[in-house]
Each structure stands twice: as structure tokens, then as C-alpha cells.
């Protein structure tokens, strides 16, 4: 999967239970996708946990250097 691909993988079990996993969505933005799914299904989340993507930083991190004159 490419680094920029964002996916919401939805699985419906034989008993009607729905599970979903976000992929490639970093940080708390993933929760927005789950909220949309809840609205579409008129359902509530029973259990959730963060994937490794939640803790991953998206975008570019700036390298910052400071110079102090020693005072």
C-alpha cells in the first residue's frame, strides 16, 4: 500500500456484526471516519482500539536548530 493511501476496511460478519479498521490515516483524524460509519449504519461503536497508524506522524517534520550566544 502506498504511503498516501487512506482506507476504511469494513467487514460484515454472518451475524450482522460490523467491524472496521482505518489504514493510512494518522492521528486522531481516524476517529472522524468511524463517526461517519456510525452515522451511515445508525450504530454505535462497542469496542475500539488504536492501530499503529494512530501514533504515526503524517506530513513533514521540520528540523529546527537554534543558536544561543551563551548568556
Report domain extents, the chain: 7-55
Whose cell is 548568556? That residue is 71
Q: What is the pLDDT of residue 70?
A: 59
Q: What is the pLDDT of residue 14?
A: 95
H-helix segments, the chain: 30-41, 52-55
pLDDT in tens, 17-56: 999 988 888 888 888 888 898 899 898 888 888 888 777 7
Q: What is the pLDDT of residue 69?
A: 61
Amino acid at each position: 500500500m502506498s504511503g498516501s493511501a487512506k482506507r476504511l476496511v469494513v467487514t460484515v460478519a454472518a451475524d450482522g456484526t460490523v467491524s472496521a479498521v482505518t489504514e493510512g490515516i494518522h492521528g486522531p483524524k481516524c476517529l472522524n471516519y468511524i463517526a461517519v460509519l456510525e452515522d451511515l449504519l445508525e450504530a454505535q461503536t462497542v469496542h475500539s482500539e488504536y492501530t499503529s497508524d494512530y501514533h504515526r506522524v503524517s506530513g513533514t517534520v521540520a528540523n529546527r536548530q537554534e543558536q544561543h550566544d551563551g548568556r
